[in-house]
Amino acid sequence: MTSGGLTECLRKTFVTLDQIKEITRTYPTPFHLYDEKGIRENASKLKEAFAWNKGYREYFAVKATPNPFILNILKDYDCGCDCSSLTELMMADRLDFDGKSIMFSSNDTPAEEFAYADKVGAIINLDDITHIDFLEKTIGRIPETISCRYNPGGYFKLGNSIMDNPGDSKYGMTHEQIIEAFKILKSKGAKNFGIHAFLASNTVTNEYYPALARILFELAVELHEKTGADIKFINLSGGIGIPYTPDKEPNDISVIGANVHKVYDEVLTANGMGDVAIYTELGRFMLAPYGCLVTKAIHEKHTYKEYIGVDACAANLMRPAMYGAYHHITVAGKENAPCDHKYDITGSLCENNDKFAIDRMLPKIDMGDYLIIHDTGAHGFSMGYNYNGRLRSSELLLKEDGSVQMIRRAETPKDYFATFDFTDIFKGIE
């Protein structure tokens, strides 16, 4: 893309300037907005891509977008919940997801969380071999259905684009440990086994899932041969990413599903294990492109650089400040204008990294313009926080019929002060 050229601005949005103006009559900026139509279409495509596997299920990573309205949409497509904390388990239970629809994948897990997971009948995915004794002491037994997380160690490299370092990750068991874990679990009464692994994050390639699948499928055959364990499911976890930058092409989930199918037949079916269910736990792929943060330009500053201050900040979207992550920005109503101005787009926190974009080429921004920050549907609102006493914004759902529903209200000062014991001092605060 040429610097300052029109192509740098072009990125399709699911909401128009006219719609934003109508929304802000009721809901002030900033707010996170989700596209129901896009979410439903994507969930349907994922389910179709793995329809070849009789037991397939997507366990949506609740941590990505922990909103009951979103979870209920995904429930329409037989999605379950992947939970990693007590409150996520509580949310899934309150939404009437049955135990088989809840996967509890946690690490450094407190005893009360294992106890609650067992109470609601969730499938427990053990992160470490030492957790076997810890779980047994906590709930008094080993569940009949249990899963273990695998970490192959070393480096995981795929082509020239992806390299991750499982050996430096705190998650999962070594090869020797998972074999021993299956033997111990079986001796303690486990009957139905699962395997889980996560090797790379936000991969924008159709090759990642098939490569991971081969590793896990071959491990499953080995575990079955060496321990006699009845392996019921293999959880490919997450890792399928999205193209945050406009120069990348999105993954093709139908191609990914077909290539996993090919590996499945080559490894599992060929070894008499063609009845193993495939699970996924996608968060970013499921939701990120179908959410955006809408914010308004409220200040401009001309010093050593050109700054545009907006009414959102890192408390609303942490990724750029925390990781230097790129999120595309569209100036609503100026989609066809040339990107001939260089700006830093900043929030109001007392931290210099509170910037949504640095040296970004955009159309001329006028005060009152609405900026659409793309791909915030996952790990956007959920990573929000209250530094500087800033309050988290509302979450809105753009429904298929064009109407808008508030699915989480904005925080108020009363929420911020609610956990203090001396609440009388703040009496009357709204």
Look at residues 155, 161, 229, 166 and name the one whose alpha carbon lies nearest to residue 198.
Answer: 166
Instruction: Give catalytic status of residue 313 as yes or no.
Output: no
- 257 domain-assigned: yes
- 424 domain-assigned: no
One domain for residues 30 and 125: no
- 1 domain-assigned: no
| Residue 165: per-residue pLDDT | 63
One domain for residues 243 and 95: yes
CATH number at residue 119: 3.20.20.10
What is the model's pTM? 0.93
- 422 domain-assigned: no
Query: At which of 252, 271, 288 does a domain end?
Result: 288
| Residue 152: per-residue pLDDT | 86
| Residue 157: per-residue pLDDT | 63
One domain for residues 271 and 337: no
One domain for residues 30 and 129: no
| Residue 80: per-residue pLDDT | 98
- 73 domain-assigned: yes
Using an 8 Å Cβ cutoff, are 277 and 54 in contact?
yes
DSSP per-residue codes, 55-86:
T-EEEEEGGG---HHHHHHHHTTT-EEEE-SH
Query: At which of 255, 270, 288 does a domain end?
Result: 288
| Residue 7: per-residue pLDDT | 46
Point out the residues of the chain with pLDDT beneath 50: 1-7, 160-163
Distances from the Cα of 407 to the Cα of 36, 67, 68, 289, 414, angstroms: 12, 8, 8, 18, 19
- Residue 185 token pair: 């679990």
One domain for residues 301 and 280: no
One domain for residues 325 and 399: yes
One domain for residues 243 and 154: yes
What digits encode the pLDDT tens for the residues 182-213? Answer: 999 999 999 999 999 988 788 889 999 999 99
What digits encode the pLDDT tens for the residues 2-20? Answer: 333 434 566 899 999 999 9
One domain for residues 137 and 165: yes
- 427 domain-assigned: no
- Mention every residue, 6+ apart, whose C-beta is less than 8 A from residue 215: 152, 197, 199
One domain for residues 282 and 297: no
- 301 domain-assigned: yes
Measured CA to CA, the distance from residue 244 to residue 62 in angstroms comes to: 21
- 258 domain-assigned: yes
One domain for residues 282 and 293: no
Query: At which of 245, 269, 288 does a domain end?
Result: 288
DSSP per-residue codes, 312-325:
--TTT--HHHHH--
| Site of tokens 């990107």 | 339
Using an 8 Å Cβ cutoff, are 394 and 410 in contact?
yes
One domain for residues 23 and 42: no
Residues linked to residue 295 through DSSP beta bridges, in sequence order: 371
| Residue 160: per-residue pLDDT | 45
| Residue 5: per-residue pLDDT | 41
**Range of 215's domain?**
36-288
| Residue 289: per-residue pLDDT | 97
Give the active site residue among 81, 83, 313, 350. Answer: 350
| Residue 4: per-residue pLDDT | 37
Using an 8 Å Cβ cutoff, are 194 and 123 in contact?
yes
CATH number at residue 337: 2.40.37.10
Q: How many domains does the chain have?
A: 2
One domain for residues 223 and 329: no
pLDDT mean across residues, the chain: 93
